[in-house]
Amino acid sequence: MIKEEKNIEAKPKEKNKTPIIEIKDLHKTFGKDNTILKGVNLTVNKGEDLVILGRSGSGKSVTIKCIVGLIEPDQGEINVFGENILNISKKELNEIRVKIGFLFQSGALYDSMSVRENLAFTLRAHKRDLSEEEVEKEVIEALESVGLGDAIDKMPAELSGGMRKRIGLARTLILKPEIILYDEPTTGLDTITSREISELILDIKHKQKTSSIIITHDMACAKMTADRIMVLKDGVIHAEGTYEELEKDEDEWVRSFFE
């Protein structure tokens, strides 16, 4: 476990660990004086699920949006698959984005499209050489991987909150990403459905060998899914460790997440 008052520097690479995401000294300010990130350093290793905790407005979502280029940081370095995405062309960035799945809080489905059409639209946008039969096969496989093969012809308005999350995840999985960024995957769900989503995150990791960052306020989800946890405070990584380590941390502010 590592903890400092001001910031946690990027740790030396661990033996037999292959970094797939490395963020160094990341800064972001909105407007004149709304500084959100003040020098974030973090590493995600291949095959690892990293959970990020923090109070609302601490910069959790800003951090993962920087990773996929949805927000441009003011300063820092973001290496994904060994490439600094801040120094590459738009074409090269788009090629990397295809390997990264992003699950939004709402599921972000197109309300005017059926489940089948939502998934097929995403697939065709990135793999235009696929035949209709191949697209249909990929859609069915993605839905079955989240346990919702029978929802293929439903409209988003017919889906429960948990089903929308699963369909959003299926749409993410259809491109077979190597990295998945989860933004509050269990928000708004009941306890049983939240656990099912957490179990699904673990299942995806083991079956598809993904690496993930999971932003959550749900400590049950964090405990179930996290290989490591990092805690954001005042724009920097304030503490890092396993769930069990941080639960026993001497810092009262860190322990408050576990109470």
Tens-digit pLDDT profile for residues 199-255: 999 999 998 899 999 999 999 999 999 999 999 999 999 999 999 999 999 999 999
Contact 181, 101 (CB under 8 A): yes
Burial class (CB in 10 A: 0-12, 13-18, 19+), 3: middle
Nearest in space to 45 (alpha carbons), one of 169, 198, 179: 179
Contact 3, 195 (CB under 8 A): no
pLDDT reported for residue 120: 94
pLDDT reported for residue 17: 82
Helix (H, G, I), strand (E, B) or coil at 128: coil
Burial class (CB in 10 A: 0-12, 13-18, 19+), 67: buried
Determine what percent of the chain is predicted with pLDDT higher than 70.
93
- Give the whole-angstrom CA distance, residue 125 versus residue 22: 28
Averaged pLDDT, 109-129: 89
Length of the chain: 259
- Give the whole-angstrom CA distance, residue 112 versus residue 114: 7
Confidence of residue 27 (pLDDT cuts 50, 70, 90): very high
- The radius of gyration of the chain from alpha carbons, rounded to an integer in Å, stands at 18
Confidence of residue 12 (pLDDT cuts 50, 70, 90): very low
- Give the whole-angstrom CA distance, residue 45 versus residue 114: 36
**Which residue in this structure is represented by tokens 């996929």?**
68
Residue 130 has pLDDT above 90, yes or no: no
pLDDT reported for residue 42: 95
Query: What are the pLDDT digits (tens) for 31-72?
Result: 888 999 999 999 999 999 999 999 988 999 999 999 998 999
Residue 20 has pLDDT above 90, yes or no: yes
Structure tokens at 62: 């800003």
51, amino acid identity:
V
DSSP code for 13? P
pLDDT reported for residue 116: 94
- Give the whole-angstrom CA distance, residue 70 versus residue 251: 33
The number of angstroms, rounded, from the C-alpha of 51 to the middle of its chain's C-alpha atoms is: 9
Confidence of residue 77 (pLDDT cuts 50, 70, 90): very high
